[in-house]
Chain A
Amino acid sequence: MASILSKKQVLVVDDFADMRSVLRGILRSLSINNFDLAATASEALAILQKRRPDIVLCDYNLGEGKDGQQVLEEARERQLIGVDTIYVMLTAENTREMVMAAVEYVPDSYLTKPFTAELLKTRLEKLVQQKAQLSGVNEALVAKDYAGAITELNTLLTSGPKNPLELLKIKAEALISSNQLDAAQKVYQSILKDRDVRWARLGAGKVQLLRKDYTQAEETLKALISADRYMIQAYDVLAKTLMAQGRTEDAEKVLQQAAELSPRGLKRQIELGRVALNSGNTQTAEKAFGRAVNLAKYSRYNHPSIHSSLAKSLTANGKHTEATKVVSELGRAFSGHEEVEFHKATADAMIKANQGNLKEAAAALAIAEHALGESSGDQAAELGLEMVKAYAKLGQHDKAEAMLRQAIANNHDDDAFIAEVKQVCQSAGMGDEGDKKIQRVQQEIIKVNNAGVRLIKQGEFDAAIKLLRKAADEMPGNKTVNLNAAKAIIMKMEQKGSTKEEVQLVRGYVEHVRSAAPEDWRLADISARLQRLVTKQKEA
């Protein structure tokens, strides 16, 4: 039975010795002799690192420790497996529960036990073919070259493939990643015209959310849920839509429903805990963060903020001793983590304040302040909000307001984040006053930004650059302002030639945005245009 499979290197992961020997027998019967067997997740990861197999067959249930999904996440994030590696999840039961956890990385295929050697062979051969078909697309996607991926997909689509919908799904996602929202919506609508395909409806809802058509998005997602109450991803997108409308209570309810239907989703538990803690539903928060801490235990996504939030929920419920214990465990578990000091200190400050020990609380807050000064990047907005809560708790209102101003200024066009800020203000007793201030800050930024954009359009590059540079320097965390500053300089250089200083300047702004939002679609455009300028400069 010689086939393309016999040359492949395979890794089998299963915690049952008997199942491993069953799988060994199956592989041998398929003339696959180049394989490793692993009993645990850590064994599997070690082998992945050393041998880089072509195919991974991993059981979902691996006993104590990471499960098959967490092995996949770890392997993908550490780049132990590439886009060409075939990852098959072996499951005992229907796959639905696993899909429900709404995970970032999905395996290439699920295979339900028991299966015959022939079925495994057929499935693997099909996957090898599929990988070959999509290798160009996958390479482009990894390089974030969405235009290239879409061109490649269009070529495949015109060649009369057996799987047109599968290709359209990838195409729509690439269109979203490159912010071609109208084109993405067209793809989804053309599918929905004929058939009620769930992922297309979910995609349509996502696009509506991204276009800030909140009412429409809500309608789409609610209809999807009423047709299938197990469509968990729809709850997550609906919760985001509701948050963006400032309807935090409704969002909390939706997240709660989803968390009950599918309690294994880590991100969802964190999201629920956060909304609940902000709104003062501290019991719900405690439960959600408690679950999140357990789920994160063996996960790639374990983070000191989860434990810190659990401690804050516990102390809010009067369980100060338990909270203190969580904080000290946090210190041990994350020793050396760059954000550990900050999260320990903010939780500590809350506990001390709740115990009435204001002096020690202030000392802890000072530590947090110091730690915040050293941190940067995409967590900055969240960390800022944690500080606001702590300042407010300790009555340091001036500092709370200054921090709040900065948080809003850096994210003035992110509706969901602004809603969270408002919620924090409410429960910190900075209510109506806060709302007005938030609005004022937002309007100021919009005014400056619009003025800058207008000047660019009029060709007044120097004036635009002057205005936007000043704004960007004041708000290094504001993505829109930084990108527009970079764009103004680039457009000037495109017309009048580039200088080293200006190229440096643009690189600085691009870095600001990249650290705040590495996935922002606008980065690709700016970087490409900068690259062209630099190449031209070298040629000249």
Chain B
Amino acid sequence: MAMDFSDMLASSIHDIKNSLSLISTTLAEMIGSAENTFADPRQANLLQHEVQRVNHNLVQLLSLYKLGDEGLTVDIDEHNIEDLFIECLANNQTVCQALGVDLSYDCDPMLCGYFDLEMVRSVVDSTIGNARRYADKRIQLSALEEDGYLVIRIEDDGQGFPPELLLRSDTNDQLQVTNPRASGRTRLGLLFAEKISGLHRSGERKGHIEVKNGCSLPGGCFELWLP
């Protein structure tokens, strides 16, 4: 049977994701059961955290592969932001709590935006996953309308992004994937977010990302701007 690389990749990822589901849920059961005791419970929770990160990386790699193959297009529809945040919270809350990080959101319950739900969910989920590594005690999601854009913001109260990662729209910066190993950050997540935001267009306007420090929380602040 003929099978091209993209099919192969998709079916492998299907398999890997089934394994991840298994690992993740079994781990949750182990942690949740009163009969089990761990010398260091934090280790088990870190494992949970890493499983989710592997999953985000997988999704992003496949998406970027498809993007290169011109097989990735956006499905723009209207979505309620609070609904999105509630789901993102549900998917991340347990691990955050276990790691001692408070995850919360703040937005107008009637706020809606036009975007590809699965893609944006993936960006928000993985940014939360990333922020978890650097947050001290808090991660905060918020959204508002600014200059006709929907701005989705993910902030933490950690040390903030290193200067070489900061990215602002007014400087026309492009993400450079130079020497990723040096910093220990692959920047895959940011690259993915940038590509996804760029696929969102309305008339002449195009989506983008901004990476700053010290907005309403002292640490890193990631913004997704959608037209």
Q: With contacts A93-B13, A197-B76 known, is A16 near B29, CB below 8 A?
A: no
B110, closest chain A residue (CB): A162
CB of A2 closer than 8 Å to a CB of B: no
Asked whether, in the complex, the Cβ of B18 is within 8 Å of the Cβ of A16, the reply is yes
Closest to B86 in A: A122
Chain B: residues with Cβ within 8 Å of the partner, total of: 41
B118 at the interface (CB under 8 A from A): yes
Decide if B90 is an interface residue (CB 8 Å cutoff): yes
Check: A116 CB closer than 8 A to any chain B CB. yes
**B-contacting residues of A (Cβ < 8 Å)?**
16, 18-19, 22, 25-26, 29, 61, 92-97, 112-119, 121-123, 126, 160, 162-166, 195-199, 227-231
Question: Taking beta carbons and an 8 Å cutoff, which residues of B are in contact with A?
Answer: 10, 13-15, 17-18, 20-22, 24-26, 28-29, 32, 51, 55, 62-63, 70-71, 73, 75-78, 80, 82-83, 86-87, 90-91, 93-94, 109-110, 112, 114, 118, 202
* A538 CB to nearest chain B CB (Å): 49
Give Cα A351–Cα B170 distance, bound, in whole angstroms: 72
Q: In this complex, which of A118, A126, A229 has the most chain B Cβ atoms within 10 angstroms of its Cβ?
A: A118
Q: For the complex, give the distance between the alpha carbons of A119 and B87 in Å.
A: 6
CB distance from A204 to the nearest CB of B (A): 15
Residues of A within 8 A of B25 (CB): 22, 25-26, 114
Residues of A within 8 A of B83 (CB): 126, 162
Smallest Cβ distance from A173 to chain B, in angstroms? 15
Contact for A195 among B21, B28, B110, B114, CB less than 8 A: B114
Pair B17/A93 contact, Cβ less than 8 Å: yes
CB distance from B17 to the nearest CB of A (A): 5
Which applies to chain B's interface (DSSP): helix, strand, loop or mixed?
helix
In the assembly, what is the distance between CA of A198 and CA of B24, in Å? Answer: 36
Does B13 lie within 8 Å of A195, measured CB to CB? no
A-B contacts, 28 of them at CB < 8 A, read A18-B22, A19-B18, A19-B22, A22-B25, A22-B26, A26-B25, A29-B32, A92-B13, A93-B13, A94-B118, A97-B10, A113-B18, A114-B20, A114-B24, A114-B55, A116-B24, A116-B28, A116-B91, A117-B28, A118-B90, A123-B87, A126-B83, A162-B80, A163-B78, A196-B202, A197-B76, A197-B114, A229-B73
User: With A163-B80, A164-B78 given, is the CB distance from A115 to B91 under 8 Å?
Assistant: yes
Most buried by A among B18, B26, B109, B118: B18
**Nearest neighbor of B63 in chain A, beta-carbon distance:** A94
Give chain A nearest CB distance to B107 CB in angstroms. Answer: 12
**Cross-chain contact B17 with A195 (CB below 8 angstroms):** no
Given contacts A113-B18, A160-B110, 16 further A-B contacts (CB under 8 A): A19-B21, A22-B21, A25-B25, A92-B14, A92-B15, A93-B13, A93-B14, A97-B10, A115-B91, A116-B94, A164-B78, A165-B77, A196-B202, A198-B75, A229-B70, A229-B73
Q: Is B18 in contact with A92, judged by CB distance below 8 angstroms?
A: yes
Nearest A residue to B21 via CB reads A114
Specify which of A114, A228, A229 lies most central, judged by the most chain B CB atoms within 10 Å of its CB: A114
In Å, the complex CA distance between A519 and B86 comes to 40
Q: A114-B20, A118-B94 are in contact. Are A95 and B118 (CB under 8 A)?
A: yes
Residue of A nearest to B13 (CB): A93
A122 to B25: give the CA distance in the assembly, Å.
Answer: 17
